[in-house]
DNA sequence: TTGTAAGCGTTATCAG
DNA sequence: CTGATAACGCTTACAA
């Protein structure tokens, strides 16, 4: 059921002026008299007029909507990136369409189609964990929709901005920290190597080990989708190895939290018998006992930057002169009880 | 920068048929020959045609978009309600626009305006914690946009579906459980009483107390926005009272988590010296040590129901014969270590 | 400063 | 089964 809509014609009729004048008045056009503008605005309010975005979008070819695709909104990193994006977007009059891929490639592909159909003005995305093909993003680009990647980016599509952190360095900092604390058998719960950032984190981990002359042992490494179930299962696997690892560097924080829970359930003292470091923070990271050491990412800042770059590209007349850069932000090691021995 | 778009005319020209035939073919209209349909679909694909939703929405007066407004997406309850909504929506060909009010009334009002302008087909909302006026929702209704409330509902607008849990009973179960365990001075960290659900939870708490002949002491009750900072601060306040409360029933789980963290930081044994029960679950509730007892809500189910009711209303010819009911689902007490004495 | 009229890309109506 | 033509509600030359 839909009520009758009031259009600019209704306002025009009421004031006995033309619809174009109404349109211009509502858009605060320069050469419309203040008097007319005021009258129009008054009547608009009186009649409860709401501009139809579909109609104006049809002609201006703009929807003033940008869309975010993330694996899941209930992870702290993504939630705060979204908050950053929302801030920049709403300051500039854009509506934000938030979509979840639920870490499924197929869903991501479908979402892109929906977004093209809806004529969003731009897309900000962090890839699903099993996304290894990028034709859908190419398609969006071909449809004239700018794309900005953040966090889990795609290097195969070069004509896009990319906002990342130095994952390699973050992982290196984490591993080095564990080594400095005296841990010798440092395991790693990593993300599927399909995503670049998880390859980087693995590489950083390796560098951290080698710097302390610790051997890299493939048997101490596991790859997964980084959810809590994976974390629990793989922690169990790792802790049943003989000899047992004495520390775990987790590629995200959900797995670090489950590793901690598993250890406590099995009376393995953290950090004495098992040091734990995570990557990226959850709200509860600092509330857990022991609190979890982790690599902090400037997530909201990343979101803001992504949005700024996207709007820049949307506003650009032609994409020919775009200077597509990859922007790398810094991570920070936050040392807490889960890894501090002395 | 925008690329040239391919429209149904391009397809029509290529095949030397009319645009209306193309339109019908693409919409799988009944009396178009299979042959034409196939040809149209082939050329559409060839040319990379993407239907323009703005244009079709303009004429059909439908955007096939529904919107969700929640306080914050990174709370487990809302995230899984969203997941439920997404499932039902996408099964029915709807796109979901997720918006955050960040628990601010003003933002909620603005969002509604944006949604009206964007001609969404319906809105599902859980109110910001300080929302006590509902004109913005009235406005949406007047614009012909159905609204369904869930969780934090608004009884003032009667012509809407409402999906809730039995908050009163949930709180009662929680409090009774604590009393059964032998706790005597049970405090309550509640939500601002502007929201109905938090009044209900307070009432359920009172009933739980009175059933065990425990006096209701206003001094043991605090009201807040239920974020982690509030949780920490108010736990501190409560635990400095003399005599000290020996248990806390928290109106959500973030505050329960912060209460637990505070207690552990101050060497207050949970549950021996302090029993804790929360309301609604976070992903980590069961992973914490001790794991947190809480009231489980069927959040995804609530989302699904809300979406179903909304689509029902959207599909209804007129809202006159709508049977607006309030649907109440059941909660469940999940007992874990944080409240179990023996 | 304002009006006229064309047109954005679809779908709906009516005719054939 | 298919085509012509008029909408949908707005913006924007171009004209006045």
Average pLDDT over residues B250-259: 95
CB within 8 Å of B24: residues ≥ 6 apart: B32
Where is pLDDT greater, at B97 or B5?
Answer: B97
Same domain, A180 and A161: no
Same domain, A67 and A133: yes
Is A56 a member of any domain? Answer: no
CB within 8 Å of A42: residues ≥ 6 apart: none
Q: pLDDT tens, B36-73?
A: 999 999 999 999 999 999 999 999 989 999 999 999 99
* D6 C1' closest Cα residue: B59
Average pLDDT over residues B306-316: 95
Average pLDDT over residues B180-192: 97
Nearest by CB to residue A287, choosing from B50, B98, B258, is B258
Same domain, B25 and B174: no
In percent, how much of chain A has pLDDT > 70? 98
Residues of chain A neighbouring B122 (CB-CB closer than 8 A)? none
Same domain, B280 and B215: yes
Axis-axis angle for helices A34-47, A19-26 (nearest 10):
90
Confidence band, pLDDT 50/70/90 cuts, at residue A3: low
d(CA B234, CA B219): 12
Residue B318: predicted pLDDT: 64
Is A324 a member of any domain? Answer: yes
H helix intervals, B92-142: 105-117, 135-142
In this model, does residue B248 exceed pLDDT 50? yes
Is B42 a member of any domain? Answer: yes
CB within 8 Å of B41: residues ≥ 6 apart: B25, B26
The residue with tokens 């029902």 is B312
pTM for this prediction: 0.90
Please report the residues numbered 196 through 235 in chain B whose beta carbons come closer than 8 angstroms to any beta carbon of chain A. 228
Q: Which residues are paired to B96 by β-bridges?
A: B66
Residues in chain B: 342
Q: Cβ of B33 < 7 Å from strand D? A: yes
Is B58 a member of any domain? Answer: no
Token output for B81: 């309600």
Q: Do B51 and A260 touch (CB under 8 A)?
A: no
Which nt has its C1' nearest the CA of A32? C1
Range of the domain at A258: 167-297+333-339
Same domain, B74 and B24: no
Is B290 a member of any domain? Answer: yes
CA B20 – C1' C12 distance (Å)?
10
C-alpha torsion sign, points B124, A71, A76, A297: negative
Is A236 a member of any domain? Answer: yes
Residues of chain A neighbouring B147 (CB-CB closer than 8 A)? none
Least confident range of A99-108, A280-289, A304-313: A280-289
- Does any CB of chain A come closer than 8 Å to the CB of residue B181? no
Strand order in the sheet with A247-250: A221-224, A186-191, A247-250, A275-279, A293-296, A332-334
Same domain, A203 and A121: no
Residue A4: predicted pLDDT: 62
Element (H, E) at A23: helix A19-26
How many independent structural domains does chain B possess?
A: 3
Q: Chain-wide mean pLDDT for chain A?
A: 94
Which nt has its C1' nearest the CA of B50? C9
Q: pLDDT tens, A39-83?
A: 999 999 999 899 999 999 999 989 999 999 999 998 999 999 999
How close A2 comes to chain B (CA, Å)?
5
Average pLDDT over residues A281-295: 88
Residue B287: predicted pLDDT: 83
Same domain, A192 and A115: no
Same domain, A237 and A120: no
* D4 C1' closest Cα residue: B18
Is A266 a member of any domain? Answer: yes
Same domain, B74 and B141: yes
How close B75 comes to chain A (CA, Å)?
6
Q: pLDDT tens, B80-129?
A: 999 999 999 999 999 999 999 999 999 999 999 999 988 899 999 999 99
Average pLDDT over residues A171-187: 98
Same domain, B70 and B122: yes
Average pLDDT over residues B166-194: 97
C-alpha torsion sign, points B270, B274, B275, B279: negative
Q: Cβ of A7 < 7 Å from strand D? A: yes
Straight-line distance from the first to the last Cα atom of chain A, in angstroms, rounded to the nearest whole number: 68
Nearest by CB to residue B119, choosing from A53, A114, A119, is A53
- Domain of residue A34, CATH code: 1.10.260.40
- Domain of residue B207, CATH code: 3.40.50.2300
In this model, does residue A222 exceed pLDDT 80? yes
In percent, how much of chain B has pLDDT > 90? 87
- Does any CB of chain A come closer than 8 Å to the CB of residue B118? yes
Confidence band, pLDDT 50/70/90 cuts, at residue A306: very high
The reply to whether omega before A298 is within 30° of 0 (cis) is: no
Residues of chain B neighbouring A288 (CB-CB closer than 8 A)? 261, 284, 288
Residues of chain B neighbouring A119 (CB-CB closer than 8 A)? 52-54
| DSSP result, A140-181 | HHHTT--EEEESS--TT--SSEEEEE-HHHHHHHHHHHHHHT
In this model, does residue B289 exceed pLDDT 60? yes
- Which chain C positions come under 7 Å from a protein C-beta? 1-5, 7-13
Least confident range of A247-261, A296-310, B190-204, B274-288: B274-288
- Does any CB of chain A come closer than 8 Å to the CB of residue B267? no
Residue B1: predicted pLDDT: 46
Same domain, B304 and B155: yes
Nearest by CB to residue B117, choosing from A50, A72, A142, is A50
Element (H, E) at A11: helix A8-15
In this model, does residue A1 exceed pLDDT 50? no
Please report the residues numbered 309 through 338 in chain B whose beta carbons come closer than 8 angstroms to any beta carbon of chain A. 313, 316-320
Same domain, A195 and A258: yes
In this model, does residue A305 exceed pLDDT 90? yes
Is B56 a member of any domain? Answer: no
CA A53 – C1' D6 distance (Å)?
22
In this model, does residue B167 exceed pLDDT 90? yes
Would you give the distance in Å from CA B181 to the centre of its chain? 32
């Amino acid at each position: 059921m839909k009520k009758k809509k009031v259009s600019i014609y209704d306002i025009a009729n009421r004031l006995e002026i033309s619809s174009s004048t109404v349109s211009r008045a509502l858009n605060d056009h320069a050469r419309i008299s203040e008097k007319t503008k005021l009258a129009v605005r008054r009547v608009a309010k009186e009649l409860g007029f709401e501009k139809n975005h579909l109609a104006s979008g049809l002609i201006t070819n703009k929807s003033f909507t940008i869309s975010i695709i993330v694996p899941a909104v209930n992870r702290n990193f993504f939630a705060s990136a979204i908050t950053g994006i929302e801030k920049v977007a709403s300051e500039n009059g854009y509506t934000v369409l938030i979509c979840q891929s639920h870490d499924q490639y197929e869903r991501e592909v479908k979402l892109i189609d929906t977004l093209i159909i809806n004529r969003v003005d731009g897309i900000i995305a962090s890839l699903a964990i099993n996304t290894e093909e990028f034709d859908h993003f190419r398609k969006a680009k071909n449809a004239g929709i700018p794309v900005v990647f953040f966090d889990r980016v795609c290097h195969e599509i070069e004509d896009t901005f990319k906002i990342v952190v130095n994952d390699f360095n973050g992982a290196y900092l984490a591993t080095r920290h564990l080594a400095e604390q005296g841990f010798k058998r440092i395991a790693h719960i990593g993300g599927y190597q399909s995503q670049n950032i998880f390859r980087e984190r693995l590489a950083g981990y390796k560098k951290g080990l080698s710097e302390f002359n610790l051997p890299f042992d493939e048997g101490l490494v596991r790859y997964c989708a980084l959810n809590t179930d994976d974390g629990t299962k793989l922690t169990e696997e790792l802790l049943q190895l003989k000899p047992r690892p004495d520390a775990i560097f987790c590629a995200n924080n959900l797995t670090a939290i489950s590793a901690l829970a598993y250890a406590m359930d099995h009376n393995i003292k953290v950090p004495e018998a098992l040091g734990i470091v995570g990557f990226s923070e959850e709200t509860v990271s600092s509330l857990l006992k022991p609190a979890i050491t982790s690599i902090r990412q400037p997530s909201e800042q990343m979101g803001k930057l992504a949005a700024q770059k996207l709007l820049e590209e949307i506003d650009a007349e032609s994409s020919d002169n775009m200077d597509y850069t990859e922007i790398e932000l810094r991570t920070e090691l936050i040392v807490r009880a889960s890894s501090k021995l002395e």
